[in-house]
Structures are given as structure tokens and as C-alpha cells.
Amino acid sequence: MAKVLISLKIFPSDVNIDLEGLKGKIRKALPDYASIYKFEEEPVAFGLVAIIAHILVPEDRAGGVDEVEEALKGIEEISNIQTLTVRRL
């Protein structure tokens, strides 16, 4: 079965947020069927660093992208999420 790779740009709510701790919270918040492929960090401005999360979900999971985004929006340290790409692997 093919997988779908979702790339999300995640903006922390503050420049003083521990990015490693936030990455751990992102891993824990994901639905059971989703997994982290890798994380990247991207400087934004004035010390703020966004996390680029590459997340794998099964292709046959209808609404998987929306469910992943909703799960991450529940994390207090996240101020905004931007979908960069969604592609089939």
C-alpha cells in the first residue's frame, strides 16, 4: 500500500519554546496511523524557528490530512500550521 507524505510548517507560539520538546509533543499528538518521517528546522524571523514536519499517512485513509492537522492544533505551543505539500510516495 502506498503512503502519503504531508509536509507541514509548524510555527511555535513563542521564540523561547523548546523545539525538541515540541517535536516530542507533535509525535505524541499524531493519530495512530500517522508517523513522522523527519523534522527540519527553518529560521523565520527575529529568532523564531519553524519546524517542518514530514508526516506519513496511509493512502487509503480518507481525511487523514485534516485529522493530522486537527490533532496538532490541540498543542498549546503551536500558533499556526501551514500545509506545504501533500504527495503520494
Instruction: Express each pLDDT in 27-68 by its tens digit.
Output: 999 999 999 999 999 999 888 999 999 999 998 888 888 999
pLDDT of amino acid 63: 81
What is the phi/psi pair of residue 36, to 5°? -80, 130
DSSP letter (8 states) at residue 16:
T
Count of domains observed in the chain:
1
Q: Which residue, chain included where needed, has cell 498549546? A: 76
pLDDT of amino acid 49: 96
Domain CATH number, residue 15: 3.30.70.60
Range of the domain at 70: 3-88
Instruction: Please say if the pLDDT value at position 17 is more than 90.
Output: yes
Cβ pair 48, 9 in contact under 8 A:
no
pLDDT of amino acid 65: 86
What is the phi/psi pair of residue 27, to 5°? -55, -45
pLDDT of amino acid 29: 96
